[in-house]
Structure 1
Amino acid sequence: MELQVLRWFREVADGATVTETAERARITQPALSRALARLENEVGTPLLTRSGRTLTPTPAGRLFREHVGQALDQYDLGLRAVAELVDPAHGTVPLAFLHTLGTWLVPPLVSSFREAHPQVRFELHQHGEASILQELVDGAADLIISSPTFGHPRVTWHRLLVEPLRLTVPPGHRFAGRERIRLAEAADEPFILLRSGYALRVLTERLCAQAGFTPKITFEGEEVETLRALVAAGLGVALLPPPRATAAGPDTTDPAPQLQVTDVDSTRELGLAWLTDRELPPSSAAFREHVLRSAPEITPADYRAGSGSTP
């Protein structure tokens, strides 16, 4: 089997059309179809079946795709490791992180690392917790900065800091003039939450339960800044991290008041994670040590630095 044919098969199995894959590969569509047919002959069973204008994997194809993906990822990681061994100054660090960390935590970490390693490249990906954890497990990211991974068997998670969550309310709300609040006082308020599958959604529901109520959910979103805008528009309240300063200065675009919660521990942990059973390439290993050393030093005063790891 040729590695390139396996890559083409993975693209098609992941939803790309034969035409799109052939164009990217700069070969003709019939040539790609013949290559995929040869692959099926080698495997001994059909891997793809036609569904309208696209090909979809058969049950055997889905199983084969899983193993092919792992093999190609390991091959690519091997190439990276050898390249960095030969020339460690020109490595690549694939890093995934939560959307909310892209404006304040990740930029100074990357910038300060590149002062000492100016030739190292970064591949940056922003997602929710479930997606970045999957990228780590699949090998698309060497490191992730996220909420706790809750005991994933292959992941080591090291706490970097504890981030406060504030009850964010609309301007003019009956709570807007206050600095502090018991979360229990918001039991009758409409809540705006992230969709299911996000750790902040789970944490919000858990904190509300600790305060003695189940939140009445009126809107669900996929990004914290969308939730913040919905609150500012008067559509409900939300437990959100405070807006962060950027290189341009403090964030002054958020008119929604932020209230400190006093009756429950309204915080979320943030940390760095990597695969326990995989040795990182030199550049990623160096960046891991940089983050573990530097992250608590660049956090704002309203954060509490943490330590320790959870396998």
Structure 2
Amino acid sequence: MHERIDEQITFRRLEVLLAFMEGGSLAKAAEMLDTSTVSVHRALHALEEGVRCKLFLHQGRQLIPTDAARTLAATAREVLSTLSSGIRTTREVAGYASSVLRLGSLYSLTLETVPAMIGELKAREMGLEVDLTLGSNTELLDRLSNGTLDAALLAVSELGAEFQTIELFEDEIFFAAPTGSKYAQHKTIDLQACSHEPFVSLHEGFATYHGFQRAFHLAGTTPTVAMTVGDVFSLTSLVSGGVGYTLLPGRIRGFLKDRVHFIPLDSRFQMKQQIGLTFLSIRERDPALLKLGVICRAMAKRFGIRT
């Protein structure tokens, strides 16, 4: 086992030593490190205590480095260089500052939001390539937590301090019916009056599924679900084919728009989804995410969201 290093010897104090050796004085080292001469002096004194030998000689107010100080400085330069390289490699493995952005998204956002975001990234020549992963809200949050995604476009909820979100837009939930159905001409839909109808739904874990459940909870009734599926486009296709009715976010209206009619819910059951870009708080200074944040805030302004 190697000799234990005294706790007085820290990476920060080794940085101070190198600054002093390069600058040649306490004042110059303090200027380079944006600190005080007192702090520099204390750090150098602590290093002497940690290595248990004389590193400096005093000539009036001047500190003169000894051969021992020069030897320690050479070692410090090597150690700090190795550490810096290791941190850089660690960040690359974790996706930090990578040129490939691992972006997650809800299926429904691939109609307009995702293409618009990628188009903005290319137009601004930010040097980022996008590796896109689609999934449910739950799946995307799990991937963010385990580090396999850098950021995700999803329906925002109470996520806690672990995550940060840049809000993009607010989306209304509609009753979806086949064009030509008996509900297609209704101005609004009373969920209590149609709960006996067959419905189709997304699997649990999707934001729209939870909105579906909440709306019928507000209506005080339980819908009959004929089938569940794993993406919103299959869900919309089931509605167009007459398999059942469902609730869908407004952003899907462009898909099968001639075959599926979107009808507002009665004011008693109206609800909205908050859509935003979510990432781990610990990654907030990641250069790639800072670039993406610029794009998101510009898009949010176009949607009328204050950021």
Residue 140 and residue 233 in structure 1: after superposition, are their counterparts in 2 closer, same or farther (change >3 A)? same
C-alpha change, 1:100 and 1:173, in structure 2 (3 Å) is same
Partner of 2:277: 272
Deviation at 1:111, TM superposition (A): 0.8
1:289 is the counterpart of 2:294? yes
Question: Offset of 1:171 from its aligned partner?
Answer: 3.2
1:78 to 91, 94, 102: 91
Q: Tell me the C-alpha RMSD between the 2 structures.
A: 2.7
Aligned residue for 2:179, secondary structure, equals coil
Which residue of 2 is the match for residue 257 of structure 1? 261
Letter in 2 for 1:172: G
**Residue 106 of structure 1 aligns with which residue?**
114
Judge conservation of contact 2:152–2:277 (CA < 8 Å) in 1: yes
Deviation at residue 77 of structure 1 after TM alignment: 5.2
* 8 Å contact from structure 2 (residues 104, 133) kept in 1: yes
Stretches of structure 2 lacking an aligned partner (at least 5 in a row): 1-86
Q: CA deviation at 1:134?
A: 1.3
Aligned to 1:157: 165
Match of 2:217 in 1: 209
Matches within 5 A, 1:1-311: 78-79=91-92, 84=97, 91-117=99-125, 119-242=127-250, 244=252, 251=255, 254-263=258-267, 264-297=269-302, 299=303, 305-307=304-306
1-structure distance, mates of 2:182, 2:140:
38
Deviations 1:89-129 (A, max 9, x none): x8222211101101101111121122122532111111111
The answer as to whether partners of 1:80 and 1:281 remain within 8 angstroms in 2 is no
Deviations 1:18-50 (A, max 9, x none): xxxxxxxxxxxxxxxxxxxxxxxxxxxxxxxxx
Q: Deviations over 1:253-294 (max 9, x none)?
A: 540211111222232111111111234431221112321232
Identity among equivalent positions (%) equals 20
Q: Any stretches of 5+ residues in structure 1 without a counterpart?
A: 1-73, 85-89, 300-304
- The farther-off stretch of 150-159 and 203-212 is 150-159
Q: Secondary structure at the match of 2:298?
A: helix
**TM-aligned CA distance change 1:242 to 1:278, over 3 Å:** closer
- Cα displacement string for residues 227-276 of structure 1 (whole angstroms, at most 9, x for unaligned residues): 1111111111100123658xxxx545540211111222232111111111
TM-score, with normalisation over the residues of structure 2? 0.64
Residue type of the partner of 2:137?
E
Matched position secondary structure for 1:101: helix
The 2-side partners of 1:104 and 1:97 are apart by 12
Deviations 1:112-163 (A, max 9, x none): 1221225321111111111111111111221111012433441123332111
Query: Structure 2 counterpart of 1:182, which letter?
Result: D
> Separation in 2 of the partners of 1:254 and 1:229?
12
Corresponding pairs, count: 220
Separation of aligned partners in 1, 2:284 and 2:178: 48
Q: Distance in 2 between matches of 1:295 and 1:167?
A: 26
Letter in 2 for 1:222: G
1:296, CA displacement in angstroms? 4.2
Distance 1:227 1:293 in 2: 31
Task: Quote the offset at 1:216 in angstroms.
Answer: 1.6
- TM-score between the two structures when normalised by the length of structure 1: 0.63
Worse-matched range after superposition: 173-182 or 232-241: 173-182
1:75 Cα deviation from its structure 2 partner:
7.6
Q: Are the equivalent residues in 1 in contact too, given 2:109–2:251 (CA < 8 A)?
A: no
SS in structure 1 at match of 2:178: coil
